Structure 1
């Protein structure tokens, strides 16, 4: 493709829109709804089911839901380095072939050590990821004080070839819960950080972070290393998308996006529209209530429940890799309500 017009850097990877170190120059990180894509496995062998994975990524892209690969929902802890790269490559190929060449890919690269996390960031970039999301390991949670956590994210951000999103999920990191001061401090000091996902459910924290990073002056005083990667504040649950709009947050990364992509994308769009047209607020509130109830149902059964629903809705999904168990029989009736025609109509 030759020069892409950005700092005279030559694009060496064709449709991937990436330069030699894998960093995307064309796929901007934008406000909206992102879904942590499940990793699907072949029954009996537990090999990757790439056909179902590719179909699902494209299905969501058609609903304006962008993919996060190898995250918590994607069972990253159950994947090898090679499998992570394969999933990124498969998603990029599927998106490009379906005409979604501008849809960015976020890849999970958090793991035990700083060294391996950085290694995974490089591998993700080489495979075609545009951004990475990093969670601190909870294995030594008791020893990771705020200073150690700040050093971890600073080191990763400085050495990652692509912009990094901070992932705050206490339940998946041994109870580590980054506070707003630490997150805003990192945002100010690390120009290669491009956002935070808050799966702590702390709306007050989200509000405080937005009060700093969503101010117009922030981008001027603390410019990003990649101008296509502004610092976004993203919720980790679908039940406060509308309220977060009013404190200048930027959307959410949510498991519900996998099973109700149109409803969740519509809620974000409608929430944004209410800022200009308050008459839309009652409809946005109604839809937020529906989505919140759906999100609560999904949250109770997590990965296994989401896969069960996808199997019911679309014919693929399967079960998690062991030792993670499949959904319990008694929970199927509750979660299965999503797959009933009436419920599906209300949520899509």
Structure 2
């Protein structure tokens, strides 16, 4: 099965209307800007895509919207990866089939977390293997302890899953560079792609053999991420690490400003589309609250650099 190519991917935010329905024009504008910024793919319904708040039909709508926007604008080679994690094996498999029907090329699956004590290493492996057996699309394992009640897959567990013929990669939002290096040194990226799930260890991951990144801050700074990737590929490590240092401060700033709500507000304030609406009970971030915010000042400096590239 197809392994996703190395590069930068955006776990896209989903822009909403005031009534929390999908804002189609704003979401299309966002997908197009990311593609024009050079991303290899769009992750729809990653943790930034608010998947847990969407109906099955809304999830399919969001995937179709991304695929159609890319195709209509000549970006047919940009992948659409769908987050299809759910709390049961049965529903996760259904979401994988829905993703294929809607136009995704790969799925990314979180570990269930409703009953953490029951999610032993053996049960976690069994879950992912059973879903991967049934999935009509190439399968990636998503490790993000913050959204899975603290469940953190170790490198042995992920390495065991990597041997499955339909499991082609992983997104590590745990931020563990040691885990990333253990996996990337064990499996070539052409067989099993290991992606940093955060921007603050993006270049470090590349130097450790990772395939790239799938990270929230790509929503704001796709060109800067692409520049770091290219610098590392060209062996310009000092330049890459200088830019990575700036990006690391930016990634921290996004977290301090407010996660999903912060990303939406930063984008809407600086790129001319979208609102700061998030699904309740998530917290929105008011544009006025950014005035005088030192973290936002850090982001503005990076956005100026982004627009200059």
CA distance in structure 2 between the partners assigned to 1:272 and 1:324 by the alignment = 38
1:299 is displaced (CA, Å) by 2.0
Superposed CA RMSD in Å reads: 1.8
3-state SS, counterpart of residue 309 of structure 1: helix
The corresponding residue for 2:283 is 325
Q: CA contact under 8 A between 2:253 and 2:298: conserved in structure 1?
A: no
Matched, 1:209 2:209: no
Q: CA contact under 8 A between 2:253 and 2:299: conserved in structure 1?
A: no
- Pick 1 or 2: higher relative contact order, CA cutoff 8 A, min separation 6: 2
3-state SS, counterpart of residue 30 of structure 1: coil
Compared with structure 1, are the counterparts of its residues 94 and 330 closer, same or farther at alpha carbon in structure 2 (3 Å cutoff)?
Answer: closer
Instruction: Pick the structure with greater CA Rg.
Output: 1
Q: CA contact under 8 A between 1:313 and 1:339: conserved in structure 2?
A: no
CA distance in structure 2 between the partners assigned to 1:60 and 1:135 by the alignment = 24
The corresponding residue for 1:81 is 56
Q: CA contact under 8 A between 1:137 and 1:174: conserved in structure 2?
A: no
Q: CA contact under 8 A between 1:311 and 1:318: conserved in structure 2?
A: yes
- TM-score normalised to the size of structure 1? 0.83
CA distance in structure 2 between the partners assigned to 1:273 and 1:81 by the alignment = 43
The corresponding residue for 1:222 is none
Q: CA contact under 8 A between 2:17 and 2:277: conserved in structure 1?
A: no
The corresponding residue for 2:251 is 295
Matched, 1:32 2:17: no
Compared with structure 1, are the counterparts of its residues 338 and 95 closer, same or farther at alpha carbon in structure 2 (3 Å cutoff)?
Answer: farther
The corresponding residue for 2:36 is 62
Q: CA contact under 8 A between 1:197 and 1:236: conserved in structure 2?
A: yes
CA distance in structure 1 between the partners assigned to 2:218 and 2:44 by the alignment = 13
1:35 is displaced (CA, Å) by 0.7
> How many equivalent pairs are there?
302
Q: Which runs of 5+ in 1 are unaligned?
A: 1-22, 220-229, 275-279
CA distance in structure 2 between the partners assigned to 1:339 and 1:302 by the alignment = 13
1:347 is displaced (CA, Å) by 4.1
Matched, 1:260 2:217: no
1:174 is displaced (CA, Å) by 0.5
Compared with structure 1, are the counterparts of its residues 125 and 148 closer, same or farther at alpha carbon in structure 2 (3 Å cutoff)?
Answer: same
Q: 2:203 aligns with which of 242, 245, 257?
A: 242
- TM-score normalised to the size of structure 2? 0.93
Q: CA contact under 8 A between 1:37 and 1:68: conserved in structure 2?
A: yes
1:338 is displaced (CA, Å) by 5.3
Output one character per residue of 1:134-173: Cα deviation in whole Å (capped at 9) or x when no partner.
0012211121100110000000111000011100000100
1:343 is displaced (CA, Å) by 4.0
Q: 2:297 aligns with which of 329, 337, 343?
A: 337
1:247 is displaced (CA, Å) by 2.0
Q: CA contact under 8 A between 1:309 and 1:338: conserved in structure 2?
A: no
1:183 is displaced (CA, Å) by 0.5
The corresponding residue for 2:264 is 307
Q: CA contact under 8 A between 1:267 and 1:284: conserved in structure 2?
A: yes
The corresponding residue for 1:273 is 234
CA distance in structure 1 between the partners assigned to 2:128 and 2:255 by the alignment = 27
Which has the larger displacement, 76-85 or 315-324?
315-324
1:185 is displaced (CA, Å) by 0.9
Q: Which runs of 5+ in 2 are unaligned?
A: none
